[in-house]
Amino acid sequence: MTTTDPATTNDAPVTRPTATRRPRRRPRGSAITGLAAWAVGFTFVLPVLWMALTSLHTEADAGAGRPQVFASLTFANYSDFFSGGGADPWPPIINSATAAILSTLLVLVLAVPAAYALSVKPIEKWTDVMFFFLSTKMLPMVAGLLPVYLIAQKTGLLDNITFLILIYTAMNLPIAVWMMRSFLAEIPPALFEAAEIDGAGLVTILRKIVVPLSAPGMAATALICFIFSWNELLFAKSLTGTVAGTAPVFLTSFVTSQGLFLAQVSAAAIVVSLPVLIAGFAAQDKLVQGLSLGAVK
Amino acid sequence: MTTVTEQPNARTSSSSGGPGDRPTVSGGSGRGSGGGAAWLRRAPLLPALLFTIVMTQLPFLATLVISFMHYQAYAPDSHGFAGFSNFKAVFQSADLRSSALTTVYLTVTVVLVSLVLGMGIALLLNRSFFGRGIVRTMIITPFLVVPVAAALFFKHGIFNPSSGLINGVISWVWGLFGDTTPPAPDWLSQFPLLSVELQLIWQWTPFMTLILLAGLQSRSHDVLEAAAVDGAGPWRTFASITLPHMRQYLELAGLLGSIYVVQNFDSVFTITSGSLGTANLPYTVYTTVFNAQDYGLASAQGVIVVIASIGIATLALRTVFSLFQPEGAR
Amino acid sequence: MRMRSQRALIGLASIAVIATTAACGGAGGGGSSKGTVRVLMVNNPQMVDLQKLTAANFTKDTGIKVKFTVLPENDLRDKASQEFTNQSNQYDVATLSNFEIPFYSNNGWLASMQGYSDKDTSFDQADVFPSMSKSLTGKDGKIYGEPFYGESSFLMYRKDVFKKAGISMPEKPTWDQVAAAAAKVDGAEPGMKGICLRGQPGWGEVMAPLTTVVNTFGGTWFEKDWTPKVDAPEFKAATNFYVNLVRKHGEAGAPQSGFTECLNALTQGKVAMWYDATSAAGSLEASGSPVAGKIGYAQAPVKDTKSAGWLYAWSWAIEKKSKNTDNAWKFVSWASSKKYEELVGKELGWSRVPAGKRASLYANPAYQKAAGAFAQPTLTAIENANPVDPGVQPRPTVGVQFVDIPEFTDLGTRVSQYISSAIAGKGSVDDALKRGQGLAETVADKYR
């Protein structure tokens, strides 16, 4: 059993011919590998499982001195969350969805043409532009927090979801440009040339060639932008109030200064994380492309 | 191809536009020439570029201006020009120095440990075993939990000395051996920075794993096969084929991880509220704005952090850009 | 693969359309409409109760809608100071306290309530404790805040545990007696520590009880002429006493413990004593609490002063910029009214009433019956708290557990970080106070 054993690497088409040369049976180390991998996987997922289990317990069981694995289960924390007479969780959830989805769309609308100008028909000094985009990601967001707050306050845009959408668009646009550029570079140039010979304009090219051919890339970009916008806390908590507060901000209000709250927080944390969990599980391969800015296909 | 695109001044190299070749200014289509065509090329870029400049550069300009002002929001009567006094205060502040060190320490630890763990897990996942898809999903899960939710739960449900999971497991294991007085370390007080790091490592290892796994799977199978035929052992193969191949993926994962971890606010804010030496730069700037309400000082802190970031970023960007070069030539 | 992605994109787009409609319909504005009051408040249980009762009572009676933002204490302070210093007009009303209201009003950030409270006879301002009203009054003599609930600090202890250990707790204990008792009851039951004292950083967290100890040990942050005294022997002795007590006989996880953690510790039998806010008693005696009826209440421990308890009132303030002050007052006067106290008493139980602000509540037989164990000690503590002269020397500002200047939020928080570290064993008290003295010098320069 070696790391190089082709039978254990996963890309089936390539490994097939070698399979005849080497024995087909599972290598000895496989059981140990599997066991180790399962152990590691379980360790990583354990806090989330524990969170889910805690959310189904009563506060008394959740706060007990010793973990109560077999305590009786209840959905009370969830029904309390949605209709407990406290704050209504739907406005913040809708705000989060609005901010995440609309900023993601805006990012795509801006990033795809930009990537076109940086990749398909690159302008001069396109490398500098790429540098510029990525360098904005390295600037600490917190340093921009104060001026952004003051600007929003002076222009009456505090507590306004539209302003949050613009912030999130700016936050994700550099990543999206990088990703889309590397996806567009994959499209065979001959296609663009043919289209230009047919007299297609920029809009037509974007619509007929770029968008359909880079759809998987756009989906990956959208997923990442969605996740980062949904998760954002610092700007949301500083710039919003009674109207435009988002789900992560709402979540922080569950830590009360009195009494037990762990089970409630767990239920709220699960609900708030659910959209990201579903999106991420459904598109694991996109996650890889997205996280590596498109460098890893 | 790479040579062409690397030359920014490619006006002269406007070529025939063969496959894979991307001339940088008005290509073979021959539609117009000179300034008009160049602007036509730039047009699709401009909205994104202008938007980014307005949204990211203007605020920093404002920060720069405010950093030279006495701007203490609690004292509305005494605003005015301050010269370099805010900067002087920043450099004299021991708290800011220590939070800079904390930032470096936190980032380096989290990124390095996540990389090593990620590499190990990626090697495991790259083999075939029963339920590999499920295990991969399990590994990814931490990255998909909203960070503030994860931080909240780690603080109250994992690290809590009396009802947290860690001490619960300890007391359960001790209980198996009949020990009724298990150790119950107070994680957040005894190991505050480690606690924050643990949560971040838990959240960022999946990220590293995914990128590194993709890297492993892109190894050339011909080379691997040749190595196997030549009788290279597992370590030999790992050291002389896998690692060199993985270098750029490690760099990419490390760089991207650093970009996000260095900015981390949610975990520090939620888990320790910056106490016991866990305050990093984002948290310190945040408290100067919101707690002290000293906008001048906060802006000076911001400016210095930005300058330091630019220095580090310039180095890092050279690295990351080299990573994207070969892909452009495909 | 591509087909699936395209379908995903179409799906995304249709969600976006729905979201846009929602954005335009629900989250568009941000301004205040006539019939809405926007309230920023701390998420203490009394406020959470208020939030639950508002729609069915206040809104039903007046037709005025109330929109709340509810935040944990530290978040709330950050948000409120940002809101009021910038006059951002995101909120009409916020929970501030007798710490902020005096200097906020001096800076012109608050709308006066004097005119409203003069006219509104049913509100009965005279029923509010005079010490509270006074501490919520600006330099111009006008009222700028109405208390929602008020508190002092006192010592809570397990009567049963003390009886078993053969210790009696005087009504007005000294800190030496408390320390001796803490040593004796430490370990009285398995896993039980002697005393719970806050160790969590924050000027309103560890600094609050600690400053009352400093006061009664003869120390102060500043003398009358703003000479900082943070590294003076008295301040040092008090801090060493506090840190040593909590390190030796204090709760587990002390450097991260605040009000919540201590409340849980006492409720779950993990400590035998607790020195903290009088408002904790309501939770300890609430139905379902395992320690209800077992708790004794003594006045704040002292050394060189007659009393040491703090005075604090979570209070409503109306932002100057608010264009909605009439409705805001309607909300404030409802929430701080006798009627609201009765509403909570009847609907949720008398122990949950936001107390400590009106004399009439303490004359109410129903409340006396339900809160018999702690009503009198609370009243005594509040009446004896002396914000003008809390220590042995004259002070430059009012305030027991704080110095009433805006800079104290930063000063107190930073010093509290050092002290919290000392409690965790990661630094010395001497070092903490030396750095604190340096910070205090900078602050004093502005006032001398």
Q: Quick check: A260 contacting C, CB < 8 Å? A: yes
Angle A117-A119-A123 from CA coordinates, rounded to 5°: 45
Q: Quick check: A237 contacting C, CB < 8 Å? A: yes
Report the gap between the CA of A206 and the closest CA in chain B (Å).
Answer: 10
- Average pLDDT of the segment spanning B145-169: 88
pLDDT value at position B112? 94
pLDDT value at position B109? 94
pLDDT value at position C419? 94
Dump pLDDT digits (tens) for A63-105.
Answer: 766 667 777 888 888 888 887 666 788 889 999 999 999 999 9
pLDDT value at position A86? 67
Which structure tokens are listed for C30?
A: 């941000």
Check if the beta carbon of residue B196 is closer than 8 Å to that of residue B271.
Answer: yes
With respect to CATH, is domain B91-328 assigned 3.40.50.20? no
pLDDT above 70 covers a percentage of chain C that reads 92
pLDDT at C385 over 50: yes
Question: Burial, A22: exposed, middle or buried (Cβ in 10 Å; 0-12, 13-18, 19+)?
Answer: middle
Distance CA A153, CA B73 (A): 14
Report the gap between the CA of C96 and the closest CA in chain B (Å).
Answer: 14
Domain ranges, ordered by start, for chain A: 1-44, 90-291
- Average pLDDT of the segment spanning B266-278: 87
The alpha helices in C189-290, defined as continuous H runs, are: 207-216, 233-249, 259-267, 280-284
pLDDT at A26 over 60: no
pLDDT value at position A27? 52
Dump pLDDT digits (tens) for A218-258.
Answer: 988 999 899 999 999 999 988 988 888 899 998 887 776 55
Ranked by mean pLDDT, the top range of C94-98, C366-370, C387-391 is C94-98
pLDDT above 70 covers a percentage of chain A that reads 84
Residues 6+ apart with CB under 8 A from C5: A215, A216, A218, A219
pLDDT band at residue A13 under the 50/70/90 scheme: very low
pLDDT at B14 over 70: no
Nearest to B60 among A130, A144, A185 (CB): A144
Nearest to A124 among B10, B51, B138 (CB): B10
Ranked by mean pLDDT, the top range of B156-170, B182-196, C264-278 is C264-278
pLDDT value at position A110? 94
How many residues comprise chain C?
A: 448
pLDDT value at position B322? 64
> Letter for the amino acid at B239?
A
pLDDT value at position A17? 41
pLDDT at B23 over 90: no
Residue with tokens 């009504």, as numbered in its chain: C171
Nearest to A97 among C19, C30, C268 (CB): C19
- Using the 8-state DSSP alphabet, how is residue B203 labeled? H
pLDDT value at position A21? 43
pLDDT at C386 over 50: yes
Domain ranges, ordered by start, for chain B: 4-44, 91-328
Distance CA C186, CA B239 (A): 58
Residue with tokens 């996963």, as numbered in its chain: A10
pLDDT at C328 over 80: yes
- Average pLDDT of the segment spanning B68-91: 85
- Average pLDDT of the segment spanning B166-176: 85
pLDDT above 90 covers a percentage of chain B that reads 24
Parallel, antiparallel or unpaired: strands C110-111 and C146-151: unpaired
Report the gap between the CA of B56 and the closest CA in chain A (Å).
Answer: 7
Nearest to A231 among B63, B146, B157 (CB): B146
- Average pLDDT of the segment spanning C318-336: 94
Distance CA C389, CA B301 (A): 39
Interchain pair B56, A114: CB under 8 A:
no
Distance CA C384, CA C380 (A): 6
Least confident range from A192-206, B186-200, C145-159, C232-246: namely A192-206
Dump pLDDT digits (tens) for C294-305.
Answer: 999 999 999 999
Interchain pair B146, A273: CB under 8 A:
yes
CA-based nearest residue to B89, from B279, B299, B280, B287: B299
Q: Quick check: B73 contacting C, CB < 8 Å? A: yes
Neighboring chain A residues of B51 at a CB cutoff of 8 Å: 110, 169-170, 173
A-proximal residues of C, 353-412, CB under 8 Å:
none
Which residue pairs from C394-398 have beta carbons closer than 8 angstroms and sit at least 24 positions apart in sequence? C394/C223, C394/C224, C395/C220, C395/C222, C395/C223, C395/C224, C396/C222, C396/C223, C396/C224, C396/C225, C396/C226, C396/C447, C398/C102, C398/C135
pLDDT value at position A15? 37
pLDDT at A19 over 80: no
> Letter for the amino acid at B306?
V
pLDDT at C360 over 90: yes
- The distance from CA A102 to its chain's CA centroid, rounded to whole angstroms, is 14
Residue C239 has phi, psi (to 5 degrees) of -65, -45
Interchain pair A42, B138: CB under 8 A:
yes
How much is the pTM? 0.84
Neighboring chain C residues of B297 at a CB cutoff of 8 Å: none
Question: Burial, B249: exposed, middle or buried (Cβ in 10 Å; 0-12, 13-18, 19+)?
Answer: buried
pLDDT at B276 over 90: no
Check if the beta carbon of residue C159 is closer than 8 Å to that of residue C294.
Answer: yes
Identify the bridge partners of residue C319 per DSSP, sorted by sequence position: C110
pLDDT value at position C223? 94
Angle B84-B85-B87 from CA coordinates, rounded to 5°: 65
Interchain pair C40, A104: CB under 8 A:
no
pLDDT band at residue B252 under the 50/70/90 scheme: confident
B-proximal residues of A, 70-109, CB under 8 Å:
none
pLDDT value at position A258? 56
Q: Quick check: A147 contacting C, CB < 8 Å? A: no
What CATH number does domain A90-291 carry, 3.30.2270.10, 1.10.3720.10, 3.30.70.1560, 3.40.470.10?
1.10.3720.10
- Report the neighbours of C using a cutoff of 3 or more CB pairs below 8 angstroms: A, B
Q: Quick check: C270 contacting B, CB < 8 Å? A: yes
pLDDT value at position C22? 44
pLDDT value at position A124? 79
- Report the neighbours of B using a cutoff of 3 or more CB pairs below 8 angstroms: A, C
Interchain pair C255, B275: CB under 8 A:
yes
pLDDT at C222 over 90: yes
Interface probe with A: pick from C70, C76, C348, most Cβ of A within 10 Å: C70
Report the gap between the CA of C314 and the closest CA in chain B (Å).
Answer: 18
Distance CA C316, CA C226 (A): 30
**Radius of gyration of chain B from its Cα atoms, rounded to whole angstroms:** 26
Angle A14-A15-A16 from CA coordinates, rounded to 5°: 95
Residue with tokens 């941000």, as numbered in its chain: C30
- Average pLDDT of the segment spanning A161-177: 93
Distance CA C238, CA C253 (A): 21
pLDDT value at position C100? 92
- Average pLDDT of the segment spanning A125-153: 85
User: How are the residues of chain C apportioned to helix, strand and coil, as percentages rounded to the nearest 5?
Assistant: 50, 15, 35
pLDDT at C421 over 70: yes
Report the gap between the CA of C23 and the closest CA in chain A (Å).
Answer: 7
SS3 C194: strand
Residues 6+ apart with CB under 8 A from B16: B28
Identify the bridge partners of residue C107 per DSSP, sorted by sequence position: none
Q: How far is CA C156 from CA A17, A260, B100, C280, in A?
A: 78, 20, 42, 9
DSSP string computed for B134-178: HHHHHHHGGGGS-HHHHHHHIIIIIS-TTT-HHHHHHHHHHHHTT
Distance CA B218, CA B233 (A): 20
pLDDT at B254 over 60: yes
Helical pair C2-25 and A90-119, crossing angle rounded to 10 deg? 130
B-proximal residues of A, 123-142, CB under 8 Å:
123-142
pLDDT at B2 over 50: no
Interface probe with A: pick from C69, C205, C262, C323, most Cβ of A within 10 Å: C69
pLDDT value at position B5? 35
Distance CA C226, CA C395 (A): 8
pLDDT band at residue A203 under the 50/70/90 scheme: confident
pLDDT at B301 over 80: yes
Nearest to B282 among A140, A177, A202 (CB): A140
pLDDT at A265 over 90: no
Residue A244 has phi, psi (to 5 degrees) of -105, 10
- Average pLDDT of the segment spanning C69-74: 85
Check if the beta carbon of residue B310 is closer than 8 Å to that of residue A135.
Answer: yes
Check if the beta carbon of residue B261 is closer than 8 Å to that of residue B208.
Answer: no
pLDDT value at position B324? 59
Q: Average pLDDT of chain C?
A: 88
pLDDT band at residue B314 under the 50/70/90 scheme: confident
Interchain pair B259, A47: CB under 8 A:
no
DSSP string computed for A104-164: HHHHHHHHHHHHHHHHTSPPTTHHHHHHHHHHHHHS-HHHHHHHHHHHHHHTT-TT-HHHH
For chain C, domains (ranges, CATH) are: 36-150+312-370 (3.40.190.10), 153-309+384-447 (3.40.190.10)
User: CA-nearest residue of chain C to B269?
Assistant: C75
Distance CA C370, CA C225 (A): 47
How many residues comprise chain B?
A: 330
